[in-house]
Amino acid sequence: MGNFIISSYNGKIIVRSKPFKYRDAKTEKQLIMRSRMTLLAKTYRTFSRILCLGFPEDSSGKSPQNMLVSLNFTSAFEMEDSIPVINYPRLQLSKGSLPRVKILEAVMDVEGITVRYDADLSSDNVFATDEMIACALLKSGALLITRQIRGYHDRGTILLKHSTQPTGEVVCCYVFTRSGDGKKASDTRYVEVTG
């Protein structure tokens, strides 16, 4: 009906109108914003298998993709030659009220990436039934994911298995916690992998 668009969002019917003449002003600021959105869309496709686990809190009416964009749009970028690029240490794949994981070390060897962490069960909101989630993105585009229960030990280890790869093949590595009932999560912890 003319320039009207009718859609539904969160159970509400929304009526919008499109302009009859679309002007695509390509200012530098607009091109940077579009580039950021493109990069975040690619990041979502890369990490989509774990993003549904990372945003269980305050996500009513928002998809994991919306949560990823709102959390990272202003903070996860740096400029290289006037072009935005993802700054992986600042990228957040989860957000929540649980304490962040304390990483002791992350080492790559022939078995894969071994991440050692402090379980610290004496802290509030930390339970042995919590799930530890680790992922690593390789330059080949492969995404390694491991999920395991935290357990009762003071220190824990989580292994991201893969074939022998040199350290330079790891683009980024992250760890976060999810409560046993799946209703809470921690903020993402970027992990520096050594070889």
Cite the residue boundaries of each domain of the chain with CATH code 2.60.40.10: 102-190
How do residues 59-109 score in pLDDT, each as one tens digit? 677 888 899 999 999 999 999 988 999 999 999 999 988 889 899 999 988
Supply the pTM of this predicted model.
Answer: 0.82
Q: Of residues 73 and 58, which shows the higher confidence score?
A: 73
- What is the structure's pLDDT at 59? 63
- What is the structure's pLDDT at 182? 86
**124-146: b or e for each residue (b if 16 or more CB lie within 10 Å)?**
eebeeebbbbbbbbbeeeebbeb
CATH number of 102-190: 2.60.40.10
Does 39 have pLDDT greater than 90?
yes
User: With bands split at pLDDT 50, 70 and 90, how would you rate the model's confidence at 162?
Assistant: confident
Residues 6+ apart with CB under 8 A from 101: 117, 118, 132, 175, 176, 177, 186, 189
Does 166 have pLDDT greater than 60?
no
